[in-house]
Amino acid sequence: MKVGLALGGGGVRGLAHICVLEALDELGLRPSIIAGTSMGAIVGALYASGMSGREIKERVKRHIILKDDTWHDVIEKRADLLKWFNVFSADFSRGGFINTQGFFKYLLSEIRRSTFEELEIPLLVIAADFWTAEEVVFETGDLLAPVQASMAVPGLFAPVCIAGRVLVDGGVVNLVPYEHLLERADVTVAVNASRRRSQNTKDVPSAMESVLGTFDIMQKAAFAEKMKYRKPDIYVRPEIQDVRLLEFSKIEEVFVQTAPAVEALKKQLAERYEERSARGDE
């Protein structure tokens, strides 16, 4: 059974994709193709490079202080914690608050692949052309620049220029790019880790929260419209509450809150496999 996996954006919430990858590994289902937007592109690139879901999670955990960590654990992690702290720097001159060059140099060392062709699993990375408002899909050539463009959240990260085009976060045009996989896999799994908006607050958002929140609203509206016309075979929507875009301190909460959706996914995949086996499909 060929599984196509679409991983959406969501900032820190997008690390929920790691739990989905762990579930696929547990079931022995290796995706035949992956499409990713923003954080989904990052996690997808790591996985397509040959890492397992567990390996990616362990790498993430090395760069944060966990609730159960002792002082000895923190001391052992100090080099990785400092590396994570130093990869981001302020950048107010190029259209963003944060310069991600350091992060992507670090990411390159983790992926150990520089082109799409070197990946073990075919990968599609989604970005948006700022000036034409068009979706841009990368699947050949240089890997890191498209991934960087895919997560360039407007106003937060600086845009990326590739082949004369000014590119920003792929979530602007395609939050969860599952439609690119529908004809290229037997079963398409789409994972949406975007924000779950609180219904019980009357608080006035800060300026940055207002901008990012509006971005979320636009993404949600566009995605809902797309889902009316053609849906993925399996839709995974983790119930992740009270985790903002860059709240890396809440990574553990993301993993915990994703668990019920992952269990439901495993059941759906098992059912699909049984159905195909009963029909005699491979």
130-149 per-position pLDDT tens digit: 999 999 999 999 998 999 89
Give φ, ψ of 176 to 5 degrees: -130, 100
In three-state secondary structure terms, 241 is: coil
Q: Residue 248's Cα: distance from chain center in Å?
A: 14
Separation of alpha carbons 94 and 116, rounded Å: 27
The pLDDT tens digits of the residues spanning 163-210 come to 999 999 999 999 999 999 999 999 999 999 987 766 666 677 676 677
Q: What per-residue confidence (pLDDT) applies to 120? A: 96
The DSSP 8-state label assigned to residue 249 in this structure reads G
Question: Which tokens go with 185?
Answer: 């896999």
pLDDT confidence of residue 197: 63
Question: How many whole angstroms separate alpha carbon 15 and alpha carbon 38?
Answer: 11
Whole-angstrom distance, CA of residue 272 vs CA of residue 234? 10
Element (H or E) spanning 107, and its range? helix 101-111
Q: At 4, list the tokens.
A: 């196509």
Residue 31: how many other CB atoms lie within 10 Å: 24
* Cβ neighbours around 86 below 10 Å, total: 11
Q: Please check whether residue 116 is in contact with residue 141, taking contact to mean a CB–CB distance below 8 angstroms.
A: yes
The pTM for the full model equals 0.84
Q: What is the pLDDT at residue 74?
A: 42
Residues of the chain with pLDDT under 70: 63-109, 197-202, 205, 207-208, 211-212, 215, 280-282
Distance, in Å, from the CA atom of 41 to the CA atom of 123, rounded to the nearest integer, reads 8
Query: Which DSSP letter does residue 190 get?
Result: E
